[in-house]
Structure 1
Amino acid sequence: MEGETSWNSHCIDDMSKDIGEFDSFSELSDEGNKEMIVSVDSILPDDLLERILAYLPIASIFRAGSVCRRWHEIVSSKRFLWNFSHVLSQKPWYFMFTSSDEPVGYAYDPILRKWYSIELPCIQTPNWFIASSCGLVCFMDNDSRSELHVCNPITKICKKLQEPPGMKFSDYSALSLLVSRTSHNYTISIVKSKQVPGNFLQWDLSIHIYDSETMMWATSLTEVLTGWRGGDESVICDGVLYFLIYSTGVGTPENRHSLVAYNLSSRSSPLIRSLIPVPGPLTCGRLMNLKGKLVMVGGIGKPDRPDIIKGIGIWVLNGRNWVEVGRMPHKFFQGFGELDDVFASSGTDNLVYIQSYGAPALLVFDMNQKLWKWSLKCPVSKKFPLQLFTGFCFEPRLEIAP
């Protein structure tokens, strides 16, 4: 199918063992204009060739490894991974689940505008909680919410974490992951929320933090919220854990959502003091870390019916104030067809992906260019009315492992 490529055919571990001669190129010599056949292997030293290959899109790096034995050894070497780690980050890919029961789907490469068939490790169903950062992805099961795995979806290297503390069966949970680009250490946070028995307005909320350096969990905070409950949206930016909370019936429609800014170092409490109002009446909100800035993608509700979506906006948090950086043009909003009041959205670097749960259409917003653009059509189409689609974005990296 056009635009679809089997990712397994590009995997370094599955590269062809039949190494042939590298294609030569021809050029005209200065003496007599005679054609001279020159092999690239005889011109470029290893260190220069490594640097050149490190700037290729990641899918092209896998292809380069099957050109010849020398190139295969280069892209498989530790020195190449070191060079690759110092190259500017690759544009984030978007993995779209195409089944409601099985964790199968395709990953979209915005550079080459291609979809790749990728098998995700560890995850068992698409409804698991997912968070990503700097090449790593964290999966948490949706039943007990105590089984966690951290993996690199490109290299398939995976690590299972010990069970987190706190309530095992929470009503709502929010998962976030932040990876250091220098040390590759990572922090995982889980915000758990459970209704106090017999009291609809009060909810137990706890924050649990995992440090990969110590390989230990710690319960950072436990608190009872009145009139608010936790949800499933959280992200870590610049040492602050941000997560959305939802009104349980107290307040005006404008207060259906609010943002908590929890400093992971000072562990500020009570949480109610750190609330930041959302930009306006929202049908839903999606949080993401784009180059250290907190970005929210939200469904804009109608003034008289805040539960009905009329558009989608993108805001960046500046201090305690929201700055709108984009609003989806109406033609793209209509392009989704019937868009529910909730939708999937995630992003990293300078790209934001937006996807409707009811269709495989994928819209990309470039934060730098302020440009909206549809992705190449996904290889899978909707087969039955209740079929759902969702997904997540991640940065494709070779050098990082959990």
Structure 2
Amino acid sequence: MSDHNPKEPNINTLSTDLTELILSSLPIPPLLRASSVCKLWHSLISSPTFTPPSLSHPWFFLFGLHNTSSRNNQSFAFDPLSNSWFRLPPLDDSSSSSFLGSTGFLFTTTPKFSYTPVLKSSWRLTSPLKYSRVNPLLGVFHDGSSGVRSFKFIVVGGVRFIGGLVDIEDRLAVEIYDPNHDSWELCPALPADFRSGNSSQSLSSALLKGKFYVFGIYSCFVSSFDLQKHVWSEVQTLRPPGVIFSFMISCNDMLVLAGMCNAPSGPSFNLWRIDEKTMEFSEISLMPQSLLYSLVDDEEDDKFASLKCVGMSNLIYVFNEEYHQRYPACLCEISADNGKCSWRRLPQLPSPVNKFHKVISFCSTVSLTRIFHREHEPPRPMYY
């Protein structure tokens, strides 16, 4: 006999639609565990049509690359809803110095350009770039000009090498790739103002309302490329008082500048909202001082120089790309309702953590089906 009282609710008696609705309210790690409860739950959760709201929150991806041994490469992803890290299979490509990431894709630019969706590891080689380069800016945007919504890649700037030397005559090339036709379109070059630093190491970028913004992390030059008209705007200078370096990010359908300042009260990490029409700025938040100093070694003279920043949707991540503190990070969540900002420290990366020569980081939403159906692996949770 069953001990169950038929007058009490039983999840086994719920309709499939209601069960799916309940499961969709869970963050990713509990979902992965729930998928092993029974065949029905696994079928619902692993279905391509299952899209819980948690998937709309951008994850923070951190790929650590070792120059001499790919066995020391490590890859991690942070889920902000569950406040948890995932350990991912490491990158093992021999051209690790050319890896980049942007909005759901990983790229390698040399010796040839190729890409793969995040969490899928199914690389696709493209036709050759007209101007091959290392460390360009990369953007992924949706194009509906042909009546069919599809994605394209924009590749901007980067360092070109000829005979092992930097090409000082580089045209700061801009190219757009169409995956449907495997074709590259050469576009007007990046304005010459950016020539002194034209790679992703000295520039940041943001996509907003059909424009690809390029911003000098140290120079504070800014210009935007119209993705439909293929023209660059006039170069302007966007330098809030006291700023040392800063990054441009697209958040909550607005441009945000995030960077270090020498303020009268001491060093600070600030967020400014940028009016994309006038390029005027207004401060929206300061990182708490205790949180800022928890990301750095207090004894170093240039302790803030290794701070980097990425963001997407309503989240901005700030992290230290130096090894000695195991790459600490924090995030700021910007409320879509009232614009208020809340800061918090991320938990430490899961041990062991290797020493990396290069760190690649970006934000992206994720596909649950890619978590369940990893190529060459049985469906299994990746949560640690």
In structure 1, runs of 5+ residues without a counterpart are 1-23, 30-35, 247-254, 304-308
- Cα deviation, 1:108-156, whole Å, max 9, x if unaligned, reads 22222222211156866764443332xx223224x44x32213132xx2
Partner of 2:231: 268
Under a length normalisation based on structure 1, what TM-score does the superposition of the two structures give? 0.71
In 2, Cα distance between the equivalents of 1:388 and 1:129? 10
In 1, Cα distance between the equivalents of 2:295 and 2:358? 14
Partner SS state of residue 48, structure 1: helix
- Cα deviation, 1:171-211, whole Å, max 9, x if unaligned, reads x5211223589x87322111125589999997521211123
Find the structure with the greater CA-based Rg: 1
Partner of 1:326: 285
Q: What one-letter code is carried by the residue in structure 2 that aligns with 1:210?
A: Y
Partner of 1:108: 78
In 2, Cα distance between the equivalents of 1:217 and 1:66? 44
Partner of 2:261: 300
In 2, Cα distance between the equivalents of 1:195 and 1:119? 30
Q: Does residue 154 of structure 2 align to residue 189 of structure 1?
A: yes
Partner of 1:149: 115
Partner SS state of residue 355, structure 1: strand
- Equivalences for residues 172-251 of structure 1 within 5 A: 173-178=136-141, 185-193=150-158, 204-222=171-189, 225=192, 228-229=195-196, 230-232=198-200, 233-245=204-216
- Equivalences for residues 101-140 of structure 1 within 5 A: 101=67, 102=70, 103-119=73-89, 127-133=97-103, 136-140=104-108
Partner SS state of residue 166, structure 1: coil
Moved more, 120-129 or 206-215: 120-129
Q: Displacement of 1:383 after TM fit?
A: 7.1
Partner SS state of residue 188, structure 2: strand
- Equivalences for residues 38-117 of structure 1 within 5 A: 39-41=10-12, 43-77=13-47, 81-84=48-51, 87=53, 89-98=55-64, 100-101=66-67, 102=70, 103-117=73-87
Q: Displacement of 1:347 after TM fit?
A: 1.6
Partner of 1:373: 344
Partner of 2:380: none
Q: Displacement of 1:389 after TM fit?
A: 5.4
Distance 1:118 1:322, change over 3 A: same
Length, aligned pairs only: 342
- Name the structure where strand makes up a greater proportion of residues: 1
Q: Displacement of 1:356 after TM fit?
A: 0.7
Distance 1:59 1:245, change over 3 A: same
Q: Displacement of 1:392 after TM fit?
A: 2.8
In 2, Cα distance between the equivalents of 1:227 and 1:388? 23
Contact 1:355 1:390 in 2 (8 A): no
Contact 2:58 2:364 in 1 (8 A): yes
Q: Does residue 323 of structure 2 align to residue 355 of structure 1?
A: no
In structure 2, runs of 5+ residues without a counterpart are 298-302, 374-384
Q: Displacement of 1:353 after TM fit?
A: 0.8
